Amino acid sequence: MYKVLIVDDDETVRYVLRQLQGWKLSGFTVEDEAGNGKEALIKLAAKNFDLVITDIRMPGMDGLRLVSEIKAKNLDACLILLSTFNDFEYAQQGIRLGVFDYMIKPVGDDALMEALERVKRHLNEKRLQEDNLEFYYPESQEVKLTDLVLAGSREAMDVATSICLEIFNLTDGNLVKTGILLEKMILNLSNGMYKVFPYLEAFEKPAFNGIFINTESLAKVNGKFLSCIKIMLEIIKKYELHHADSVVKKICTYVMTHVEEDIKLDDIAKEIYISGGYISKLFKEKTGSNFNDYVTKVKMEHAKYLLGTGKYKNYEISDKLAYSSPDYFCRLFKDYTGYTPFDFKKLREKTYNI
């Protein structure tokens, strides 16, 4: 776990920050806290922290002065400023002083995890450079594995297994370094998948960050890596994106990029200059799924994403997905997931403790 020091003169703010779930999910732990800049410097002198999150406005020594002192003393910690919209100018000044990032109050789990993901990448890259592991990183293997995942190939699992062993040997059996390198590869593969299929983010966004923290055995490290590869393969196959046939890919891409419209076979036929009858027959032949069933699947997956945001009511999602009535949408959703939209949302909240 990367260790965090929170600095804020408001005890309530510190408490709320400590309770957020994003720390553990991202591989960070709030190790200590301070009520002002002077107290923070004392704690930083006595103990190493990977990340310092500090408020800007504090009595005595404010956040910007604290940043300057940390830099002057060459204390090795990544820095994030907490600010309000009114402090935006100060936040910019902090960036010029060498602050890594800033967050706007009040901070929620989503904003925290986004920031921690950037910090984690920075800290991991820094550790890799310090240990001179970047030189050994198997980029050619990453390229090969990416191609296999995007093709939905079973061979991806075999290659992933050999990569686990190769990286373990490169790090001389160091599990922490092995985990950092494997996580780097997983994040690169994930980003590569979303680069090729950018619309996928509106349907699937698994949290791969922090999964290799505190792994106590090689078997668990390898298991987590292979599990991530399996998840990516399942995503590619779920949306039929692994087919080499360009017509099938065009059909799938059209459905996913027009998911919030009333999708009709005739519209796709006009788009790719092929008759609707041929599209229906070819799609069934290549994927084993009826075209209409595929459209429903994509819309239901997008509905799960929209429900997960907590921003929409059932009738709003029904309208966004171009269904005739909320009742019809709810019936389709329950048939697809086994849950009503309400029950699905409650289950998700319980799962993520939000």
Torsion of CA 200, 198, 307, 187, to 10 degrees: 80
**Per-residue pLDDT tens for 169-218?**
888 888 888 888 888 899 899 989 988 888 888 788 776 766 666 556 88
What SS3 class is residue 10?
coil
- Looking at the structure, do residues 234 and 331 belong to the same domain, yes or no? no
pTM of the model: 0.62
pLDDT, averaged across the chain: 85
- CA 306 to the chain's CA centroid: 16
81 belongs to a structural domain: yes
Closest CA to 303 of 292, 294, 312: 312
- Looking at the structure, do residues 207 and 147 belong to the same domain, yes or no? yes
- Contact assessment for residue 312 and residue 306, using Cβ atoms and an 8 Å cutoff: yes
- Looking at the structure, do residues 253 and 173 belong to the same domain, yes or no? no
- Phi, psi (rounded to 5 degrees) for 196: -75, -40
State how many domains the chain has.
3
Domain end (from 238, 262, 287): 238
**Per-residue pLDDT tens for 53-91?**
988 888 888 888 888 888 888 887 888 888 776 666 666
124 belongs to a structural domain: no
Domain that holds residue 74: 2-119
Domain of residue 77, CATH code: 3.40.50.2300
126 belongs to a structural domain: no
128 belongs to a structural domain: no
pLDDT score recorded for residue 243: 82
- Looking at the structure, do residues 94 and 165 belong to the same domain, yes or no? no
**Within a 13 Å sphere around the CA of 189, how many CA atoms are in the beta-carbon half?**
36
Domain of residue 263, CATH code: 1.10.10.60
217 belongs to a structural domain: yes
Domain end (from 119, 145, 173): 119
127 belongs to a structural domain: no
Predicted confidence (pLDDT) at residue 127 exceeds the cutoff of 70: yes
